[in-house]
Structure 1
Amino acid sequence: MAKDVISPPLIDIQQVTYKYPVKRTMQDHNQLVTEPALQNINLQIQSGEYVALLGHNGCGKSTLARHCNALLLPDEGNVYIAGMDTRDVTKHGMIREYVGMIFQNPDNQLIATLVEDDVAWGLAVKGYPLPQIRERVAEALDAVNISHLRQLPPYKLSGGQRQRLAIAGILALRPQCIIADEASSMLDPFTRQELSELFSRLHRKFGLTIIQVTHLLEEAVYAQRIVIMERGRVIQEGTPAQIFADVERLQELKLIIPDPLKLVVYLRDAGFAISNQALTIEEIAQEIANA
């Protein structure tokens, strides 16, 4: 019998340490010192996986995300993207074709005066022929459900629509991985949920590798795997059901427990058999209806 072939990870982070320079006042004068933002991180992310990097502000998750497309380079250790070492500056262009990033403020990624032109910009810079640009722009706008806005200027879009536009611009380039770095932090709760559902749909439909950087538990429920960070270290990994089963541990890590999860804990304490797999509002409602 032939042995199963194990594919190498798309993102391979090996013993990575990274330090930020920080000014400290010592004996009446300022001195530049370094503080570790990442400490001996080992993490592998497979092609087609949906991972949530979870932790409170300052834990190092955004710093780690920026190592995944060579925006930052490790002080110690190595990061490999599809086998390419991020320390090799000649590979940075190709690495960023594999891994696209969505940031907190979509306005920092929007440059054109019309929605469709903004999506087309990256393709035009790379020299794609016009028919192919039109095809990819149409597909990307349709994927994020803003095709009807294509002739509008970006400033007329809502915050959620502008974030979808930023995602469309990345999708048109067809990366293998999209990193959403606190992409919903400037959005209202309803739009945040819409955005998380969009990432989940893009993962299922296109097989994209999704890395969602967040401090919100309600966003992490859509992932296949949750990686929790604290003080620059990976301290826990598991499926959403495994992670959410220990609410006390999540509280110790200063993570805000969403109301649906609080309700589940209350119902279980009251004797209701609520499955650990029920994490979204819809799943919890179905469990209550069946109880």
Structure 2
Amino acid sequence: MTTLIDIQHACYSYRQGEALTLEDISLCIARGEYLVLLGHNGSGKSTLARHCNALLVPDAGRVLVDGIDTRDEVKRQRVRDCVGMIFQNPDNQIIATIVEDDVSWSLAVRGMRLPEIQERVAWALNAVGISHLANRPPQKLSGGQRQRLAIAGVLALRPQCIIADEATSMLDPLSRREITNLLHQLRQTYQIAVIQVTHLLEEAILADRVVVMERGRIIQEGTPAMIFRDLDMLRALKLAIPEPLEFAHRLRGLGYPISPEALTLEAIAREVAGV
């Protein structure tokens, strides 16, 4: 896979003279990749994510998005059309009083013709599974449905990458799983790269790659199986260990040869059944 986002020795501080929030970050994100930025609050993961669509630009180093330097103000809108972002609170992204109008707003301000707007809105609502809510006021949607609406608004722009910045943290466990599953589905169906920013290990289990951050630096990088081998390191970072990973760890301590790739209860059960 070719590189979509190329971060080169990026450093950033929110205020001049203060400690760096990002320190010498270098990271390449491939087209179609599912990447998880993992870390506790204050680790720098959201700040890094916001550099990927030019909401922030580095004080030193540079960030290239589809070959465009994010410091180039003239081309910054192209960067944000390429890399869309979904935030923690979907209400911060919803501006219209009807669902389909909310999805169409960003298309209309870009001067698209009505037939294309209608086609894109219908496609985006169908892709996130809320076509039946097209004429509903957003305030009457559930939290999970409003987050799907926020995703549809980004998706209608046909981005090459979607960033989900703690997009499930305000949802109940079932809705969190549904939104994470939806992001994986969109990636698989439309070959869109996804960057999921989270402090929840269970949301990283199916990622292609996990990048662990602490104090503005990348401290670990690899597949979920590689990262989750070191539970002590994850505990030291104040990250909650999901029950399946704790269970597999205890089974290994009892002598069961559980593969490091077994990260879900279903996979662990298959391992035990095969012993």
Is the shorter-chain TM-score for this pair beyond 0.5, marking a shared fold? yes
TM-superposed deviation, 1:289:
4.4
One-letter identity of the residue aligned with 1:167: I
Q: Which of residues 227, 249, 252 is equivalent to 1:265? A: 249
Q: Is residue 6 of structure 2 the alignment partner of residue 12 of structure 1?
A: yes
Alignment root-mean-square deviation, CA: 1.4
Structure 1 runs of 4+ with >3 Å offset? 284-291
Residue 224 (structure 2) aligns with: 240
Aligned length: 275
1:139/1:288 Cα in 2 relative to 1: closer, same or farther (>3 Å)?
farther
Report how far residue 173 of structure 1 moved. 0.6
Q: What's the offset of the Cα at 1:96? A: 0.6
Residue 112, structure 1, aligned to residue 96, structure 2? yes
Is 1:199 the equivalent of 2:183?
Answer: yes
Superposition deviation, residue 73 in structure 1 = 1.1
For residue 145 of structure 2, what is the amino acid of its counterpart?
Answer: Q
**CA-to-partner distance for each residue in 1:201-256, whole Å, 9 max, x for gaps?**
11111110100011110011121000001100011100011111111221122211
SS at match of 1:173: coil
Pairs within 5 Å for 1:146-225: 146-225=130-209
DSSP 3-state at the match of 1:119: helix
Letter in 1 for 2:163: I
**Residue 158 of structure 1, CA deviation:** 0.6
For the structure 1 residues 283 and 129, does the alpha-carbon distance in structure 2 shift closer, same or farther, using more than 3 Å as the test?
farther
The higher radius of gyration belongs to 1
Displacement of 1:287 in angstroms is 3.4
TM-score by length of 2: 0.96
TM-score (norm 1): 0.91
Q: How far apart, CA to CA, are the structure 1 residues paired with 2:67 and 2:12?
A: 21
> Is 2:66 aligned against 1:72?
no
Is 1:134 matched with 2:128? no
Task: Kindly indicate whether the alpha-carbon contact (under 8 Å) linking 1:49 and 1:208 is maintained by their aligned counterparts in 2.
Answer: yes
User: Where does structure 2 lack aligned partners over 5 or more consecutive residues?
Assistant: none
Bigger mean CA offset, 164-173 vs 259-268? 259-268
User: Which stretches in structure 1 are left out of the alignment for 5+ residues?
Assistant: 1-5, 22-31
Distance in 2 (alpha carbons) for counterparts of 1:162 and 1:272: 44
SS at match of 1:56: coil
SS at match of 2:196: strand
- 1:197 and 1:222 in contact (8 A); partners too: no
Residues 33-88 of structure 1, C-alpha deviations (whole Å, 9 max, x = no match): 41210001111111111100001110101011111111111111111111111111
Residue 54 of structure 1, aligned match among 9, 29, 38? 38
Alignment equivalent of 1:34, drawn from 10, 15, 18:
18
Distance 1:240 1:124, change over 3 A: same
User: Separation in 1 of the partners of 2:81 and 2:40?
Assistant: 29
Query: Residue 283 and residue 143 in structure 1: after superposition, are their counterparts in 2 closer, same or farther (change >3 A)?
Result: farther
Partner of 1:227: 211
State the Cα deviation string for residues 264-289 of structure 1 (Å, max 9, x = none): 11222223332222223443344344
The corresponding residue for 2:65 is: 81
Contact kept in structure 2, 1:177 and 1:209, CA below 8 Å: yes
- Is the contact between residue 144 and residue 164 of structure 1 (CA under 8 Å) also seen in structure 2? yes
Deviation digits for residues 120-144 of structure 1, max 9, x if unmatched?
A: 1111111222222222111111111
How many percent identity over aligned positions? 62
Mean alpha-carbon deviation: is it higher for 181-190 or for 130-139? 130-139
- Could you give the per-residue CA deviations for residues 76-130 of structure 1, whole angstroms, max 9, x where no partner exists? 1111111111111111011111100000000000011111111111111112222
- C-alpha displacement at 1:18, in angstroms? 0.5
> 1:48 touches 1:210 (CA, 8 Å); kept in 2?
yes
1:27 corresponds in structure 2 to none
Query: Partners of 1:33 and 1:47 in 2: how far apart?
Result: 36
Distance in 1 of aligned mates of 2:265 and 2:203: 12
Local SS of the residue matching 1:284: helix
